[in-house]
Structures are given as C-alpha cells and as structure tokens.
Amino acid sequence: MNKLLNIMETARDKAKINNVEFNAIQANMLTLTVDLAEKYDLIFCIGNSIVHLGGLNEIEKFLSDVKSLLKVGGSAIFQIINYDRVMKKGITSLPTITDETIGLYFERMYELDRVSGNVLFNTFLKVNNEKIENSIPLYPLLSDDFLNLIKQVGFINIELFGDFKGSKYDTENSYMTVLRISE
C-alpha cells in the first residue's frame, strides 16, 4: 500500500512541475462503480492486479465497470504477466531477487493448482533473519480470454503489447501482457 501511495505522490509531483492538472485516485476493483461517481480520462490496473479477482465473471464485471467510468476519449491500461507464456512453457518461478547489502532474498514461484485451475503464487522473503512466506491464488488470464472479455464489455479500440514500451506481444516470449484501450 505504501508503495502505491509513493507512486501516486511521485505522479502528482511530476504533474505539478509540468503544470498538468492531475488527480490520482485509488479504488477497489470489486466496488468501482459504488466508490467512484464521476468519469475519468484514464484508468489503469497494473502490477498483475486483475488476476487477483475470482475468475472470468469477476474480471468481466470489473472491465464493465471500467468502461462505464471512462470519459469519451478516455483510455484504460491493463498489465499482467504473460500467462500464455507461463502456462505453455510450464514456468515455475520468476528470477530470485537478492541484495546482500541489506540481507535480502526474495523467491517467487508458480504452482498450478489442478483442482481450481488457478496458479498459486508462492513467495519466500528473507530480510536479515526475518522470514515471510505467502501463497496467493491467481487466475491465469490468457491473452485470448482477456481480449474476448474486453470485447464482450463493448471496448472497440484495443491495442495489445508485450511491455510498457509498446513492443509487439508474443505469447511465448513476452514477459507481460499489456492492453491499452480507448473509448
């Protein structure tokens, strides 16, 4: 949560320096239309967040809510890891992050739960002598399913990228799935 607040504060500072009107709002994906009453120029959901929702129905509802909250000419940006790649290649981990100067070791592993169909995102964090383990179920949203849901809720102007730089999306090699949608 603090990281998000820092990102939002940095964005506000940059907007102020560049004389750009900017208002950042954080909202719950499950209650967008309840919590937010106005229309927005930009809505983004990044950091593999959307896959924390409970499957295709919740994801579709969220996307529908996003559509209803965008101004005419507004845009939405979504980013998740490339689950096509993870599932096809049987990827079981992300690179381990280490920093010996602060005693940091962070391991991130994927495990397919064959019963639920979810991917369990298991993490192990060690900072000095403190250890934290966690496991979170994620819905492995494939790019075709993502695109179909976006079209089902009525979005038309859809662009698919393999990263935030606008690289071409490749199901087997891109690390990310990034969608930019304009109303």
Q: Where are the domains of the chain?
A: 26-82+140-182, 85-136
Mean pLDDT confidence for 51-73? 95
pTM value is 0.86
Residue 4 has pLDDT above 60, yes or no: no
Q: Under a CB-based contact definition with an 8 Å cutoff, are residues 145 and 37 in contact?
A: no
Q: What is the pLDDT of residues 143-177, one digit of tens each?
A: 999 999 999 999 999 999 999 999 999 999 999 99
Residue 1, pLDDT > 50, answer no
What pLDDT was estimated at residue 2? 52
Could you give the percent of the chain with pLDDT greater than 90? 74
Can you identify the CATH homologous superfamily of domain 26-82+140-182?
A: Vaccinia Virus protein VP39 (3.40.50.150)
- Average pLDDT of the residues in 87-94: 93
Rounding to the nearest 10 degrees, give the CA dihedral for residues 146, 28, 97, 113: -50
Measured distance CA(132)–CA(105) in Å, rounded = 11
**Is the per-residue pLDDT at 45 higher than 80?**
yes
Q: Strand (E) positions, the chain?
A: 40-45, 70-81, 93-99, 104-112, 119-127, 130-138, 157-161, 176-182
pLDDT at 5: 58
Q: Which residue has the higher pLDDT, 34 or 139?
A: 139
pLDDT reported for residue 139: 97
- How confident is the prediction for the chain on average, in pLDDT? 91
